[in-house]
Each structure stands twice: as C-alpha cells, then as structure tokens.
Amino acid sequence: MTTSFPSAPPPLATPPLAKTVRWWWVRHAPLAQPHQIAGQADVELALWPGSSAQLTAARLPTSAVWLASPLGRTRETAARLAALVPAAPTEPATDPRLMEQHFGAWQGHSYAELEDAGDPHLAPFWADPAGTAPPGGESFADLCRRVAQAVEEWSARQTGDRDIICISHAGPVRAAIAQALALTPATALSLDVAPLSLTRLDRIATADGPVWAVRWINRIP
C-alpha cells in the first residue's frame, strides 16, 4: 500500500523591503516680535547665537533632501543650518503647503490688541480654534489637510530609504505629528514646538499602507 502525502505549499514570496522616509522637522529660529501673529507674513527673526544653530545642525543627517516653507524666516534658518551640514544644498526646495497657518486680517497684531479692539471674531475662534478660520484666513484643520498632502507627495517621490529635512513652522510641525499619531487637529494644537526644535517622524511604506514611527518630538538644542 502506497501512502500519499499532500504536497508542500509553495514557498512564500519574500516581501519587498519597506521604504522608510525619515522626516526631520525643524521649526525656524525665534522671531523678533514673538507676541505678534506672524502667520504667512514675512517677519524678521531675532538675533540667534551660532551655538544654537550648531547644536541643531549637528543632529541632522549629511545626505538628505532639504525642504522648506517659502517664507523668509524658514529660508533664512535653512541657510544658516545648511552652512553647517556637509553636502547640504545652498537652497532648499520649497513648497507653499508647508507655510504657517494663514491668519488673515490678524497677521501683524497680537491677541491682546485684538481683544482691546473688541474684535467680534475672537469669541468663535477661541470656542473652536482648530476648526474656525480667522477673518480672511484659514483654519488649523485646513492647514493639517494641506500638510498631510505635502508629506504624502514628497514621501512618494523618494526612491528607497531617504531623509528629508524640513524647515517649517510650529503649525505644520504640529500637523505632521497629528498625521503620524492620528491626532485630531484640536489635540495637536496642545503640542509645544519651540524655535529650532527638532521633531523626527519616520514614514514606513508597507504592503498594507504607510505606518509611522515617532522618534522624538520638540527636541530642543
């Protein structure tokens, strides 16, 4: 009598290696007028010591895509940092989707000034600061959507594992963290993002879609 055994299943195909895009988010240097609502206005940076730039630059990878908001304060910060990182480009690529939240008519003013003037838009804004747009501006939820779109597009452009150094603003950094941790915009607004702080978020592409690894948030030099 011959005993037959079921044939062995075919070997499993080796899954492709996951592509990891490491996002190094840097908030720009301190502002000269930190109490004013800067938004998308071009405002001046405060004088910042070279030691702060050196400490931040020392943590950045030497082979990376450099990306920045097109506003002057981020490009100036990028130039200072790039001068300290070997093989960094003289000019970063820019993407308007990485700009700070547009605060419309409030840009250039402080919240105290708006309160003293009795601005009627303040009360509904504070009732829902993530979902309400300032007059003539955009909401933080709007910002989160455009930043997420930019992150996905820039990640998809990379071939293989890659580092992206992104010099941006507090709002977009909060939005990127919200994307990685699946936070609501309202929750993301509670995150502190200090000037020149470093946030590292790794986007790992898998067969089931992207997953995120949060390495650190708001690391201050």
Which of 45-49, 58-62, 84-88 bottoms out in mean pLDDT, i.e. has the lowest? Answer: 45-49
Rounded-to-integer distance, Cα 58 and Cα 38, Å: 28
- CA 206-21-155 angle, 5° bins: 85
Residue 6: band (very low, low, confident or very high) from pLDDT cuts 50, 70, 90: very low
Residue 18: band (very low, low, confident or very high) from pLDDT cuts 50, 70, 90: confident
Structure tokens at 153: 């597009």
Rounded-to-integer distance, Cα 147 and Cα 152, Å: 9
Of 23, 64, 80, residue with least CA distance to 195: 80
Q: Residue 17 has what pLDDT?
A: 58
Q: Residue 51 has what pLDDT?
A: 87
Residue-averaged pLDDT of the chain: 93
Residue 3: band (very low, low, confident or very high) from pLDDT cuts 50, 70, 90: very low
Cβ neighbors of 1 (< 8 A, separation 6 or more) are none
Residue count of the chain, please give it. 221
Q: Residue 13 has what pLDDT?
A: 43
Which CATH code for domain 19-219? 3.40.50.1240
Q: Residue 221 has what pLDDT?
A: 80
Average pLDDT in the 8-33 region? 77
Q: Residue 12 has what pLDDT?
A: 40
The secondary structure of 18-52 as a DSSP string is PEEEEEEEEEPPPBSSTTS--TTS--PBPP--HHH
Q: Residue 49 has what pLDDT?
A: 78
Rounded-to-integer distance, Cα 51 and Cα 54, Å: 5
205 burial via Cβ count (<10 Å: 0-12, 13-18, 19+) = middle
Average pLDDT in the 3-18 region? 49
pLDDT in tens, 63-103: 999 999 999 999 999 999 999 999 999 899 999 999 999 99
Rounded-to-integer distance, Cα 56 and Cα 30, Å: 13
pTM (global) more than 0.85: yes
Q: Residue 10 has what pLDDT?
A: 52
pLDDT in tens, 142-193: 999 999 999 999 999 998 999 999 999 999 999 999 999 999 999 999 999 9
Of 99, 105, 106, 101, residue with least CA distance to 73: 99
Could you give the residue ranges of the DSSP H alpha helices within the chain? Answer: 50-57, 72-82, 111-116, 122-127, 140-157, 170-181, 185-188
Q: φ and ψ at 26, to 5 degrees?
A: -125, 125
Pairing of β 65-68 and β 93-94: parallel
pLDDT in tens, 26-35: 999 999 999 9
Residue 127: band (very low, low, confident or very high) from pLDDT cuts 50, 70, 90: very high
Rounded-to-integer distance, Cα 189 and Cα 178, Å: 9
Pairing of β 93-94 and β 198-206: unpaired
Q: Residue 197 has what pLDDT?
A: 97
